[in-house]
Structure 1
């Protein structure tokens, strides 16, 4: 098992394990009850400046990903998140973005895998 990503708008399932919202802003239209979170870890999300800049320039995802990875390297919350994989059979990282391929959770999942965490595609 290990880390997986999932849109927060999808229904919670028992197989999700420990559910962590990794967005800085609360997703629109999602109640706290529907989200069924174990943790809202705002600190692992991209910085407000980076998120705002990227939001307006979606074609620059590669640049965003590189800058976000640099932020993660300096982020104590991200380093702590690596350890969650040892504490829980499965950790589901929840995000609100519409695009399942181009979003910060994809970058975060890859970064976790590069730092010793078990990740699932």
Structure 2
């Protein structure tokens, strides 16, 4: 019998990085379409805006690494208030590898980092 893994296989990748065969499900998790990339070139399985931070939170954060800890806490509160926003991501993670795509330049201090953690936590509790 097949057993679901204890933790999902979730990768993070900038939308501008080339798509690779081992990306699994490629889901863009930004609320706004990224500049300079066509929908064809993005090679997405889904553009899931509902998992992105609210425009107000995104603007407040402004990709300032000094605000990241507070941003992460506020963003997790938004996600906790709307658990349905994680559903497509959880479904994709259950099916195999999931690559969350984002446009931010900073690969360490961005919402996809927080979102991956939220999906991993929900995956274990689901």
- For the criterion TM > 0.5, the same-fold answer is yes
Q: Distance in 2 between matches of 1:32 and 1:85?
A: 22
Aligned equivalent of 2:86: 78
Aligned-residue offset at 1:56 = 6.8
Contact 2:27 2:100 in 1 (8 A): yes
Deviations 1:64-103 (A, max 9, x none): 00000001112212244223211x2111100000001000
1:4 to 8, 11, 21: 11
Does 1:46 pair with 2:53? yes
CA RMSD of aligned residues (A): 1.5
Q: Which moved more, 1:70-79 or 1:52-61?
A: 52-61
Gaps of at least 5 residues in structure 1 are none
Q: Distance in 2 between matches of 1:4 and 1:63?
A: 23
1:17 to 24, 33, 47: 24
The two structures have a TM-score, normalised by structure 2, of 0.85
Runs of 4+, deviation exceeding 4 Å: none
The two structures have a TM-score, normalised by structure 1, of 0.88
- Evaluate the alpha carbon distance shift between residue 56 and residue 111 of structure 1 in structure 2; reply closer, same or farther with a 3 A threshold: closer
Q: Distance in 1 between matches of 2:63 and 2:103?
A: 17
Q: Distance in 2 between matches of 1:93 and 1:116?
A: 15
Gaps of at least 5 residues in structure 2 are 1-7
Q: How many residues align?
A: 116
Q: Which one has a bigger Cα radius of gyration? A: 2
Q: Distance in 2 between matches of 1:114 and 1:89?
A: 16
